[in-house]
Structure 1
Amino acid sequence: MPSLPFTLRQLEVFAHLAASGSFRATADELGISQASVSNQIKTLEEQLGCRLFHRKPGQRPILTADGQAFHDDLTAFDSAASKLAAHRRSGTPEAGPARYRLLVGQGNFDNYVRPKLDGFLAGHPMIDLEFNTQPPTPGVAGMIQAGQYDFALINRRCDLPAEPHLEKLARVRGGVFGHRRLVEGQTLPLDPARVSELPFVLPPAGSKQERETLLSFADRGVHPGKVVGHTQYYDVMAAMLERGVAVASLTDAILPPSMRENVILILPLVDWDLEFYRKPGLTAPSADLTAAFLKSCVLDNSDYPALRIYSRNTDRQKSRLIEAE
């Protein structure tokens, strides 16, 4: 076999950077320094003999023509690797702990997965789960498809094109939420002009998330006139809503159940779908158990405010059979 001019770690760093367009976000997601990200990309470019990104001070890195071609081939490379992994016999005993990397939206993790995680890990000591619970970037679907995660449980706007590698589980409400005392005595939903007068907390200033949020607002005639804060953390947004100091664009699933009596929907926007990903080729019993656990955290939770359930937890029956063996 030919000697490959890259390492799997370099491919991982490249895929993250291509999806996020940010050295800082890539470093945070991978738990390494920005300097390490830069060095990994520089070394990869030297080994390949071509430039993968256009990089200018103060601007986001953009794929070159060679970089885009390499990214396309990386997707095919990951697909081929998954097919090779699928040759493993499903009945083959697992040697050593099974380690999986998971992407779970921050709200889903804090409200639904974390409360049950200790019981799952205690019951399955040979399964090691590594979570990325940062708020997903706009390129999250690409990051998942590139094979950076073994499992994912994320929310995506229901008006986005369907991704064949993602399974729809449920739909939840999306819109502008705020404390009921901010709208006391007013008829809901509020008029967009009235909503525009309220104090807003938005995603990080200048980020793609902020731009997409503002475009979503503009589609409904909302133009925030007073911004009292920016944050990437949904739990911080929720806390500001609970205190009544701001309103924000969220899904009701992001809000902890304890807040839902006072933090209410004041203007509907686009609803969101909860979607699930399992990396192709993961056929081990531990993968079945992990998939069933993730789905059950949400679909079997009476506090999950689903408007619609698309898919019941078919993995749960499989996991019960595994545990009975």
Structure 2
Amino acid sequence: MLQSTFRQIEVFLEVVRTGSFAGAADSFSISSASVSNHIKALETRIGVPLFVRDRGRGVSLTEAGHRVHLRGSELMKQVALLAEELQPNRDNRRRRLILTSQRFLARTFLSDAVARFTTAHPAIELVVETGNFEDVLDAVANDRTDLGYVISSEGAPIPDSTIVGHERLGFFCAAGHPALRRGPLHIADLGEWPFLVTRKDERFAHMVAVSMAEHGLSNLRVAAQIQDGTMIGEVAARSDSLMCGPALYVMDLVRAGRLVELTTVEPPISLPIHQIVAPGSRAAREIAVFVEVLQAAAQGA
């Protein structure tokens, strides 16, 4: 009986995840009728309907269904953790933690924490994957990662995200640029010169443009749209165009004296960094360890 109940909960959770009985049937390679029987048996055992029966609305949970989904998800996670702990030779197996981040965040925000983590916790295999904003959210939603890191200036990318830091943006120009002779400038006055920007169809470019517009810098003269952030820095160092981007991203060029950060009257622009825990992750302990290391790295401890 216990085994059949677990199976019913498993099928129920898959119906919710895929959004349909047919989707759950495909996942388990069973018929839709079999899925329906599992759901009916679970509803009979619990004593209340879990889904709103409305053919035109697809899968919709009742209030009881939402509660069962919450408790059932936690139950299956605990069962998976217990099964993992009871496996023989567990201590000899290397644990794994997968992080997925926007590309520039991996270099600027996560690098120090990753270096500290790999040094302090060699028993945990760390996998770092990168992509754009949508890639990260997709990996989180489909449990292809344990932790996701994105920048979002327009509120939380998903309800369960946590702000874990801020990415400071700076305005940069080539050494010897005439803007450097003007002293501290208002951000709005930087529109006197052309700008190098990332591709306008990318979310990060939109967020930077919105942030600059909020400081009075809109209707930019765009010298070029360049997808690769490293190339933007190189071109800025060789031209009269300005760039706005993560300060850490062009640190090497600044240290080499090829780029200089402009001093502005207003405080630097910063964008919030969100951390998202994948709902299906089974690496709760590894996540806790990495988050602790990340916090220490952010504080410079």
Deviations 1:19-74 (A, max 9, x none): xxxxxxxxxxxxxxxxxxxxxxxx99xx999xxxxxxxxxxxxxxxx9x97899xx
**8 Å Cα contact 1:108/1:253 also seen in 2:** no
> Is residue 2:166 matched to residue 1:171?
yes
Matches within 5 A, 1:86-97: 86-87=78-79, 88=81, 92=85, 95=90, 96-97=93-94
Match of 1:153 among 149, 153, 162: 149
What SS class does the counterpart of residue 185 from structure 1 fall into? helix
> Structure 2 vs 1, CA of residues 285 and 209 (structure 1 numbering), >3 Å: closer, same or farther?
closer
Deviations 1:246-265 (A, max 9, x none): 32332334442662674314
> Structure 2 vs 1, CA of residues 165 and 86 (structure 1 numbering), >3 Å: closer, same or farther?
farther
Q: Displacement of 1:223 after TM fit?
A: 1.5
> So what's the TM-score if we normalise by structure 2?
0.58
> Is residue 2:255 matched to residue 1:263?
no
**8 Å Cα contact 2:175/2:237 also seen in 1:** no
Q: What does residue 36 of structure 1 align with? A: none
Matches within 5 A, 1:5-84: 81=73, 84=76
Match of 2:128 among 115, 127, 131: 131
Q: What does residue 236 of structure 1 align with? A: 231
CA distance in 2, matches of 1:131, 1:282: 17
For these two proteins, the number of residue pairs brought into alignment is: 246
> Structure 2 vs 1, CA of residues 156 and 284 (structure 1 numbering), >3 Å: closer, same or farther?
closer
> Is residue 2:194 matched to residue 1:195?
no
> Is residue 2:284 matched to residue 1:289?
no
CA distance in 1, matches of 2:151, 2:115: 24
Q: Displacement of 1:297 after TM fit?
A: 3.7
Q: Displacement of 1:109 after TM fit?
A: 2.5
Match of 1:250 among 245, 268, 272: 245
Unpaired runs of 5+ residues, structure 2, are: 1-6, 20-25, 33-54
Once the two structures are aligned, what percentage of the paired residues are identical? 11
> Structure 2 vs 1, CA of residues 69 and 125 (structure 1 numbering), >3 Å: closer, same or farther?
farther
> Structure 2 vs 1, CA of residues 130 and 283 (structure 1 numbering), >3 Å: closer, same or farther?
closer
**8 Å Cα contact 2:116/2:293 also seen in 1:** no
Q: Displacement of 1:131 after TM fit?
A: 1.4
One-letter code aligned to 1:300: G
Q: What does residue 298 of structure 2 align with? A: 298
> Structure 2 vs 1, CA of residues 203 and 286 (structure 1 numbering), >3 Å: closer, same or farther?
same
Q: Displacement of 1:201 after TM fit?
A: 2.0
CA distance in 1, matches of 2:298, 2:221: 36
CA distance in 2, matches of 1:110, 1:271: 17
> Structure 2 vs 1, CA of residues 214 and 274 (structure 1 numbering), >3 Å: closer, same or farther?
closer
> Is residue 2:178 matched to residue 1:186?
no
CA distance in 2, matches of 1:186, 1:290: 44
> Structure 2 vs 1, CA of residues 244 and 166 (structure 1 numbering), >3 Å: closer, same or farther?
farther
**8 Å Cα contact 1:217/1:223 also seen in 2:** no
**8 Å Cα contact 1:86/1:283 also seen in 2:** no
CA distance in 1, matches of 2:182, 2:269: 22
> Structure 2 vs 1, CA of residues 254 and 155 (structure 1 numbering), >3 Å: closer, same or farther?
farther
What SS class does the counterpart of residue 259 from structure 1 fall into? helix
Aligned-residue RMSD, C-alpha: 4.9
Q: Displacement of 1:207 after TM fit?
A: 3.8
CA distance in 1, matches of 2:58, 2:206: 28
What SS class does the counterpart of residue 133 from structure 2 fall into? coil
CA distance in 2, matches of 1:108, 1:249: 15
